[in-house]
């Protein structure tokens, strides 16, 4: 069955990016010249998705405005002879049908996904966590959809992580079935490294069967008192197969200041207008400057201060 719908979760508080996320929505932080969430929407569209369902929360109206039509702006740009820019702005709002659902509480990722149940209905869908960005953009999700066609089960993206990083992710117990593909025997959310069944961590792309909703409805709060998608997937395992695709290439966690900076630099270096100049600038900068931590402006949350936030 063709996968026609994508769910993108944008309901979190952005705790790992405070204080900017106190009033600015994390999904609207710029990565070069687009907000973070636009990359996920474009990725879904590039993979053939026809309807995007964004799960939002209070105060996230800017996301809707971003993908909405702005006749005034288009008209203004055209009057100024900026036709190419006007066309780009129009493309943004015509890219795909988007609908928004807004759960009344924020009880975790699993709870946010469950909010999309009625709009998804009885069909498979892809789930994108917009913090996670991949080298080659849609290549990972495209590959997952191919694996889905072959295996007809739930598919999740995984990547090996270091021992120190294990307790930040959902971790799978794998059984290899093909090159880069594992059958999932079990999965556990953010275990301590000693209890982890492997070092293969779930990264934010999923192809899910509609049965996940039934499992989510009976999932009790788990790690961090949140309703965890990983716990619901563990329930699904009793009835359905789950496969994991170990992708190659980098993945960036743009939901943290460091990951966001890395993604920004990589994307900017690849940008046709900005890239060459930035490369030259960075080369010179690295030779000239080494910042001791004391030189940071006051108010910057140190790495120590952020520990334990994920």
Binding site for ligand G1P (CB under 6 A): 109, 129, 132, 169-170, 189, 201-204, 228-230, 310
Q: What is the DSSP letter of 219?
A: P
CB 247 within 8 A of CB 140: yes
Shortest distance (Å) from residue 164 CB to ligand G1P: 15
Q: What are phi and psi of 25, to 5 degrees?
A: -75, 130
Instruction: Output 67 or 169, the one with its CB closest to ligand G1P.
Output: 169
Number of residue whose CB is nearest ligand G1P: 170
CB 251 within 8 A of CB 134: yes
Find how far residue 217's CA is from the centre of its chain. 23
Instruction: Output 126 or 203, the one with its CB closest to ligand G1P.
Output: 203
Shortest distance (Å) from residue 74 CB to ligand G1P: 36
Shortest distance (Å) from residue 67 CB to ligand G1P: 23
Instruction: Output 82 or 226, the one with its CB closest to ligand G1P.
Output: 226
Instruction: Output 10 or 49, the one with its CB closest to ligand G1P.
Output: 10
> Which residues are CB-contacts of 4 (< 8 A; sequence separation ≥ 6)?
48, 49, 50, 51, 123, 125
Instruction: Output 196 or 202, the one with its CB closest to ligand G1P.
Output: 202
Integer Cα distance of 232 and 213 in angstroms: 8
**Is residue 66 left, alpha or beta, with left meaning phi > 0 and alpha meaning psi from -120 to 50?**
alpha
Shortest distance (Å) from residue 304 CB to ligand G1P: 20
CB 240 within 8 A of CB 252: no
Shortest distance (Å) from residue 108 CB to ligand G1P: 8
């Amino acid at each position: 069955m063709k996968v026609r719908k994508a769910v993108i979760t944008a309901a979190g508080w952005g705790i790992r990016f405070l204080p900017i996320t106190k009033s600015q929505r994390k999904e609207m932080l710029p990565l070069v010249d687009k907000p973070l969430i636009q990359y996920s929407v474009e990725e879904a569209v590039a993979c053939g998705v026809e309807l995007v369902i964004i799960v939002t929360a209070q105060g996230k109206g800017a996301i809707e405005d971003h993908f909405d039509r702005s006749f005034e702006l288009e008209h203004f740009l055209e009057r100024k002879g900026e036709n190419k820019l006007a066309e780009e702005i129009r493309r943004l709002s015509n890219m795909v049908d988007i609908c928004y659902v807004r759960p009344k509480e924020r009880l975790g990722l699993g709870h946010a996904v469950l909010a999309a149940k009625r709009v998804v209905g009885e069909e498979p869908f892809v789930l994108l966590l917009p913090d996670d960005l991949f080298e080659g953009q849609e290549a990972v999700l495209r590959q997952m959809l191919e694996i889905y066609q072959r295996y007809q089960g739930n598919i999740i993206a995984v990547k090996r992580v270091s021992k120190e990083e294990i307790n930040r992710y959902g971790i799978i117990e794998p059984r290899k079935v093909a090159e880069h593909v594992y059958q999932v025997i079990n999965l556990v959310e953010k275990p301590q490294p000693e209890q982890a069944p492997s070092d293969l961590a779930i990264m934010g792309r999923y192809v899910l069967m509609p049965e996940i909703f039934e499992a989510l409805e009976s999932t009790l709060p788990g790690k961090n008192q949140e309703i965890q998608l990983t716990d619901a997937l563990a329930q699904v395992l009793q009835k359905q197969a789950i496969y994991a695709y170990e992708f190659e290439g980098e993945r960036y966690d743009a939901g943290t200041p460091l990951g966001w900076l890395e993604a920004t630099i990589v994307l900017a270096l690849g940008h046709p207008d900005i890239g060459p100049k930035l490369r030259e600038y960075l080369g010179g900068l690295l030779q000239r400057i080494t910042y001791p931590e004391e030189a940071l402006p006051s108010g910057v949350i140190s790495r120590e201060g952020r520990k334990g936030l994920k």
